[in-house]
Each structure stands twice: as structure tokens, then as C-alpha cells.
Amino acid sequence: MTNLFSLSGRRALITGSSQGIGYALARGLAAAGGEIVLNGRDTAKLSAAAENLRAEGATVTELAFDATDHDGVRAAVDGYESDTGPIDILVNNAGMQHRTELENFPADAFEKLLQTNIASVFHVGQAVARHMIGRGTGKIINIASVQTALARPGIAPYTATKGAVGNLTKGMATDWAKHGLQCNAIAPGYFDTPLNAALVADPEFSAWLQKRTPAGRWGQVEELVGACVFLSSEASSFVNGHTLYVDGGITASL
């Protein structure tokens, strides 16, 4: 049974993986036996994250590129595949948040959200899938959000981007399942991450979240690892186009 979830002999690229959820998922996939390819734009942070993982015994390489740059992504992925070897698993994790009431939301911030949260999934997903299709196998996991299904005041554009991630995941599965790829999404609820630092530090919001979430607490990033290992492994060989909510029950409860 453990072999069903083993990632031994497989290589995983995780975008935006120098901190937060991306780093936790990289660490978790390494613990399951995977070889890790860390990605980010800040090379210093990327190198520090890689060294930390290597100190724990992980096999790690670094691949710095801007996930919003279509040509740059294509060149980086093609070069890595040619020089190093196949990317068997892709986790599209790069993302950002901007909180402002919708009537005053800056247009430039909206465009940046679109590029970071949606376009990056398309750019990296397409670049990696081209190689996976040729091999007839591959796993793509997009990081969606509880906002894929729900909305809150002040983050309407973010909600729109994460809804799009959910639907793009369905589209990937529809187009690429016939080529042997499984394309799914993980939708985290409210997790204690750098992206949510302002909310974690807000006693009023934390109190509201504890009442609103059946589990009664913030999630810890390590609690996303099991879902990612499942969707990266042979255990999910017939799971496609699915969004797996890891949210303490928040989407199940009024």
C-alpha cells in the first residue's frame, strides 16, 4: 500500500516554493521520495530554501524563472528537460493577494493578480504538459483556494482568479487526460502563511474564523502535504479535473 503513494524516482517542480505553502509541499513531496525542483524569482531566497531541504536529505535543484513570463517559462522548462531530465509532477503554486474594496480596487493590482494567479498556471502548465504529453504520463496540481467556491469582502478579484484556476484545472483534464495526464487542484482554506500574515495577526478575524470553520482553527501548511502526495502519486491514477478542498470544513458549513 505504501508503494501506491511513493514518489521514488519522480521529479516535481513546485512554483513559488521558496516559502509558505510551496515550500511545505516541496518538503512533503521530498519526504515521499520525490526529487524536488524549487522555483521562484528571488534567487537568494530560493538558494536558502534549497539548502534547508538538502540539509534534511532531500535531492533538490533550483530553477529560477518568472512564472508570468510565457517565453521565459518555456525556455526554462525546455532547457531543464533537455539538460537534466523529465518533470513528472508540476505543482502550480505561485500566487499573490491584494485586499481592497472592489469599488476602489486599483486596475494595475487587478492585472497583476490575473498574471500571477491565472496566467502563470497556463504558462507553466502548458510548458510542462508539452513534455508530459510526449511521454504519455504526468501529474499537474494547481493550487486553488477556498475562494474558488466562496467570496469575502475586499478580495473580489482574487476570488475571480481562484475561480478561474478551478475551471482551468477542469479544462486541462478535459484536454490532457487522453494523453495520460492527471490534472487536479488543491483548494486550501485559511492557513497560517506569509500571504495571510495580516489576518493571522488580527484577533477579530481569527476569532471570526474559529467560529466560521467547523474545525475551529487556522490550518497549518503541513496539513496540505497529504493531499498533494495523493494527487502526485499512483493512488490518484483515475482522479482528473477534481478540486480537493482542504479547509477544515468551511465550504461544507453555513
The domain spans of the chain are 2-252
Q: What are 116's three cell numbers?
A: 500571477
DSSP states of 31-57 as a string? HTT-EEEE--S-HHHHHHHHHHHHHTT
Q: Which CATH superfamily is domain 2-252 in?
A: NAD(P)-binding Rossmann-like Domain (3.40.50.720)
Number of H helices, E strands in the chain: 9, 7
List per-residue pLDDT tens for the chain, 254 residues long: 779 999 999 999 999 999 999 999 999 999 999 999 999 999 999 999 999 999 999 999 999 999 999 999 999 999 999 999 999 999 999 999 999 999 999 999 999 999 999 999 999 999 999 999 999 999 999 999 999 999 999 999 999 999 999 999 999 999 999 999 999 999 999 999 888 888 999 999 999 999 999 999 999 999 999 999 999 999 999 999 999 999 999 999 98
Total count of residues recorded for the chain: 254
Phi first, then psi: give them for residue 60, nearest 5 degrees.
-135, 135
| Rg of the chain (C-alpha set) | 17
Report the catalytic residues: 158
